[in-house]
Structure 1
Amino acid sequence: MEEEKSKCSMKMALKSIPQQHSCFEKKWILQLNQQEDINDFICLICKQVANSPMEIDCPQHKDMDESLIVGENCLKQFLSQKPNSCPVKHHDNCLYSQNWLMKRYINELDAICPRQFEQEQQQGYEEGKTTRFVSCNFKGKVKHIDYHLENSCCLQMVKCWFEPFGCNHLCLKSTIHDHLTSNMKLHFDLVIKSFDTLQQTIPQYQKLNLENEKLKMELQLKGKKDEEIADLKQQLEQYQKNNLQLNFAHKTTLAEMEKLKKDNEIQKIKQKMQVNLNSSMNSKEEEIQIIIHHWIRTFNIKLGWIKDFDKIVVNYVSLF
């Protein structure tokens, strides 16, 4: 019972580990470092060791001697609540930049496993001996912490391998094999139960598959009908388009025929006028010929009468 309580306490402790991108807790850093080593790296917002330190560069603070450092995550949270403000003093247009040299120095600080530190803070010590169930002996640099927590920390909490079958056990990574060994029958029963449940559901899945196949066939038939309808619509549209073109061509032909008809009528009128004109000219020529002939005849008569008159006069004179 006490062992189970110890495990539960350990789980609660490990859940309280700070987020990866938050600033580093001073107590944790001071386990292997001195206070003077971190004085220049304290975040102005959370008062812990800055993670990804950002330096405040506002001209309003140029006379201040202390380092104006904030953690990147703390600054983001601050600006999300107070946009464009400054965490040092109240003014607008806060200027800041990443301090790469300070970040490199912080990454080189010595550190123990943060999970081990949290566990020790929760459990405490009894007569010089810890009551923790498992301990992590990691000691390294701050820059190596992320890799350690993700890959090699024995205090990492993991789920049981048989979680898909119903085992919801959560334990330390270092004790997962003990759990698997001591609960083989439980896991076997869970697998058998899951298998039985699967066998019971197989007919339902088969029925569903048949229904799905039927629906697929119906959808395919519907798809074919839709394609036929689409083809018919396309043919109808093409027919309507052709009909419009034929109507336009018919109207154009009628217009041309009407134009030709008018041209023919105009041509006939011209021909008739030409015939009338020719007839009129011929009639006038005949009249002129008659007049000229009359004039000539009259002239001949006059000439002939004068000649006969001369003969009569001569004959009359000869009598005397």
Structure 2
Amino acid sequence: MSRDHIRAGRRVLDIEARAVDALKDSLDDNFNNACEQMLQCKGRVIVTGMGKSGHIGNKLAATLASTGTPSFFVHPGEASHGDLGMITPEDVVLAMSNSGETAEVLAILPVIKRKGTPLIGMTGRPQSSLAQLSDVHLTVAVAEEACPHNLAPTSSTTAALAMGDALAIALLEARGFTAEDFALSHPGGSLGRRLLLKVDDIMHGGDLLPVVSSDTSLSEALLEMTRKGLGMTTVVNTDGTLAGIFTDGDLRRLLDRDIDIRQAGIADAMGHNPVTIEPGHLAAEALQIMESRKINGLVVCDAERRPVGALNMHDLLRAGVV
């Protein structure tokens, strides 16, 4: 029997989209107060929740931690068996429960209140026990679940997830959290590589840098290119400053000219005034230069224009910058 899965999927997305859109009208002073509580927190934002709310809470704690608000998740069941020791009066607890009556969450509230730890509740029922016991309450009520039986947590968890993201990003903006700050929390990700990796980290320097003097023969320069395997060589003056560069592309173009490769000197074949970059610059900047200039390699020179390294597009690819 043929089933219209697309129709069912669209119905779910419509219901959940309406649930998230309705949250905008629910934002009031409580949202501001919740943000201020977390901004003023001297410890950590401890997120807790059971079942599906716990899964959303886990994600929210991770999002907060990666966007400048130190946070971790505590399972309410484990909290009743020792993990409450992780919570201090310097922290803020964000407890999540759609019903506001989750037994495992309510069971740890007396200890949290006794510690004097500020409590933010996020529920779908403003009259629930958790909402009434919270110092600040955030409402994430939905008109209906996307489940056709109105039972499985779907719209409610989407609304809680969206509210959590709203908190995290409001805090991010209030802290002036930058892309560079984000990268420090994600050094293994592509953004971290783009924002933290410097040309110094991936360039070929020292004995790996292809370099010949300006009075070197073209044939000797080709041997240096072959030894170093970068498809290019730097050419330096007697004082060590950069005189030019010779690449595989220059060699191909040289074949169209009436030049005896065996007799020619590198000074007759090199490119003058090559594009360079200084140490300390981001590898992403090197990528932008290469792409805009349509070149495959780049020489790294110090302030005195002495070559200290070289890199090519393959180096950027291997480093995950591209």
TM-score, normalised by the number of residues in structure 1: 0.22
Q: Which has the higher contact order (CA 8 A, sep 6+)?
A: 2
Higher strand share: 2
Larger Rg computed on CA atoms:
1
Looking at secondary structure, tell me which structure has more helix per residue.
1
